[in-house]
Amino acid sequence: MPRQSPSPVRMNSSRAGAVWVGVATGFLSGLFGVGGGILMVPCLVLLLGMDQRRAHGTSLGAMVLISASALGGFLLEGSVAWLPGLFIFAGSSVGVTVGTSLLNSVPIRMLRIGFALLLLATAARFLAVAPETDGHSDITVGLALAYVACGLATGLLSGTMGVGGGVIMIPAMILLFGFVDAAAKGTSLLVILPTSIIGTLRNRRGGNLDARTALVVGASGVASAFIGALGASELSPRLSAYLFAILLFVSAVQMLRHANDALPPAEAV
């Protein structure tokens, strides 16, 4: 029998679902300075019926537009630390390459569980005492190396576990480097944008990208990401810390739920 094409009703439903996924994850990305993959990937799998491998690649593709829009909002607010972000990306670009190569030899389940526990501990730290900071320090050689090390760790975790860098970078920038809340979020997006471009190009070559869905999701999230970024500066540091702790907790639960899932290489979201 000839293969039946999807019905118009089903196609419209999928398109509408993609739009809502983009709007929701775009706002999350702008408000918290993260890529949004923790929410986007499950939505693509559960709502749109996309397989796991393709969902990771498509999510990363959608992040190009979403993170660019959210970054624009933080740039208007002057909440991006360019030099620290470039140092972090220098480490992350190396770390993600090494991390993806480790997928064949490292027990991913143990890494995911360990990372989930780290997220829970960080969330508890934010909930116990909301951090109060005065801003990051001027760049020194030692501090530059520390930023690169932070990026390297971020890239390694992203490459081996397929998670976005925001949930790693933002706590590190606030708790370790003294960033104020908005600057940490804006700088996180500065790193996420080029990372998502690199990952999308690799996923496109590997056939792990639904370009049409990525475009619909990404374009749908542009406006909400920009609005979320502008709204981020209006949140008090304490409220922002509490909300981010909830995001970390949800991310940790997601990680534990999918600890046994097979994750293909080069799909960091």
Question: How high is the pLDDT of residue 228?
Answer: 92
Is residue 203 within 8 A of residue 96, CB to CB? The reply is: no
Question: How high is the pLDDT of residue 50?
Answer: 83
Average pLDDT over residues 15-37: 87
Output the pTM of the full model: 0.80
C-alpha dist (Å) from residue 86 to 77, 102, 188: 19, 24, 10
**Residues 6 or more apart whose Cβ sits within 8 Å of residue 92:** 151, 152, 154, 155, 158, 165, 191, 195
Question: How high is the pLDDT of residue 111?
Answer: 65
Question: How high is the pLDDT of residue 97?
Answer: 75
- pLDDT at residue 219 greater than cutoff 60: yes
Question: How high is the pLDDT of residue 9?
Answer: 42
- At 3, is the pLDDT very low, low, confident or very high (cuts 50, 70, 90)? very low
pLDDT tens for each residue of 35-62: 777 778 778 877 888 876 788 788 888 9
Is residue 136 within 8 A of residue 170, CB to CB? The reply is: no
Angle 206-210-215 from CA coordinates, rounded to 5°: 125
pLDDT tens for each residue of 222-236: 999 999 998 887 888
Taking residue 76's Cβ as centre, other Cβ atoms within 10 Å add up to 14
pLDDT tens for each residue of 128-173: 766 666 667 778 899 999 999 999 888 777 666 656 678 888 888 9
pLDDT tens for each residue of 62-94: 989 999 999 999 999 888 999 999 999 999 888
Question: How high is the pLDDT of residue 26?
Answer: 92
In 3D, which of 190, 256, 171, 197 has the Cα closest to residue 229? Answer: 190
Question: How high is the pLDDT of residue 161?
Answer: 62
Question: How high is the pLDDT of residue 106?
Answer: 62
- At 259, is the pLDDT very low, low, confident or very high (cuts 50, 70, 90)? low
- At 2, is the pLDDT very low, low, confident or very high (cuts 50, 70, 90)? very low
Is residue 66 within 8 A of residue 123, CB to CB? The reply is: no
- pLDDT at residue 267 greater than cutoff 60: no
Average pLDDT over residues 236-264: 76
Is residue 159 within 8 A of residue 60, CB to CB? The reply is: no
Question: How high is the pLDDT of residue 227?
Answer: 94
pLDDT tens for each residue of 187-210: 999 998 888 887 788 778 778 789
Angle 166-179-65 from CA coordinates, rounded to 5°: 35
